[in-house]
Amino acid sequence: MKTLFLSAFILVSIFSLVNFSNSTVSAESETNSLELRVLTQPSIQIDVDSYVVFDIETGEIILSQNPDKELPIASITKLFTAKKLLETDFNQKITITREDVETEGRAGKLSAGEEYEAKELIFPLLLESSNDAATAIERNIGKITLADKTLFDGSGLSSRNKSTAKELSSEVRDIYKNLPYIFDVTTLKQYVSDKNGWVNNSPVRDLEGYKGGKHGFTYEANRTLVAVFSEKKLDNRELGYILLGSDDLRSDVIKLRSLVEDSVRLE
C-alpha cells in the first residue's frame, strides 16, 4: 500500500510539474511575443568608448553608443576560449607547464606540473580570469576565433584582440543560447575542487537579475564587460550589455540599466 501511495504521489507530482511547466512556457511565450520599444532616446552619454544593450530573445539592439567602433576586448576573450573548449574535447587532461604559469598575471593559483581535466580549467578561466588557464587551454585546443577572425591569444592580454560592441552582441547571444553552461559558471560565487578553489571576482555579480558574463582589463582596453541581466521592470526580459572602454564597470552598468528602465517598454 505504501508503494502504491508513493507511486501515485510521484505521478501526481509529475502531472502537476508538467502542467506548471506548460503554463510557464505559455506565459513566457506571451511575454516574449511583446516587442521592446524605446520611448525616449537617452539624453545623457555614458562615459565609455562604446556600449550596446540588446534583447537576448531577438538579438535586437535597443540602445547603443559607437556600436561599430572596433576596440580591444581584454578578457571578454575568455568567453570564446571557453566556447571552443566546450566544442572540442573538454574531458582531455591538461598538464600545467612552466610557460603557462609565466603568463602575465597571477590569478588562478595554478602550479607547473598540476594535471586538470580541461573542463575544470573553465572555473579559474571564468571566475578569476586566469591568464595561466587561458594559455594552457589554448595550447591544447588551438587558436581561438571570434566571428570570422582568429584572436591573437586566448586570454585577452593582446591589444590586437579587437571587436565591436555590435559584433560581440551577436556572438555573446549565440553562446548564451547554445552554451548556457558558460554563463552558469560565471554566476557562481566560488568553486572548490580537490586540488584548488577559485572565487568569482566580477564587479557586477551581486547586482539584481545577474545571469552571468565576463569582465576584463588591460591598459590599452581599459575596462570591458559582457553581462546579461533579467530586467524586472520589463517582465524579467533578458537583456545583454556590452561595454568597452569603461573607467568604472559597476557604475556604468547601473547607469545603463537605469536608462533602460526609463526609456524602454514592452508593447
DSSP letter assigned to residue 241 = E
The residue extents of the domains of the chain are 36-266
CA distance 39 to 23: 30
* DSSP string computed for 97-149: -HHHHTSS--TT---TT-EEEGGGGHHHHHHS--HHHHHHHHHHH---EETTE
C-beta pairs of 194-201 under 8 Å, 24+ apart in sequence: 195/114, 195/116, 196/109, 196/110, 196/124, 198/108, 198/109, 198/123, 198/124, 198/127, 198/128, 198/130, 199/127, 199/128, 200/127, 200/128, 201/107, 201/127, 201/128, 201/129
pLDDT of residue 209: 98
- pLDDT attached to residue 32: 57
CB 241 within 8 A of CB 228: yes
Which positions of the chain have pLDDT values less than 70?
1-33, 39-44
| CATH 3.40.50.300 holds for 36-266 | no
CB-side exposure of 252: number of CA atoms within 13 Å?
Answer: 26
Pairing status of strand 71-72 against strand 162-163: antiparallel
Cell numbers linked to 241: 550589455
Tens-digit pLDDT profile for residues 3-17: 333 333 333 332 333
pLDDT of residue 4: 34
**Residue 1 has what pLDDT?**
44
Q: What is the pTM of this model?
A: 0.85
Q: pLDDT averaged over the chain?
A: 87
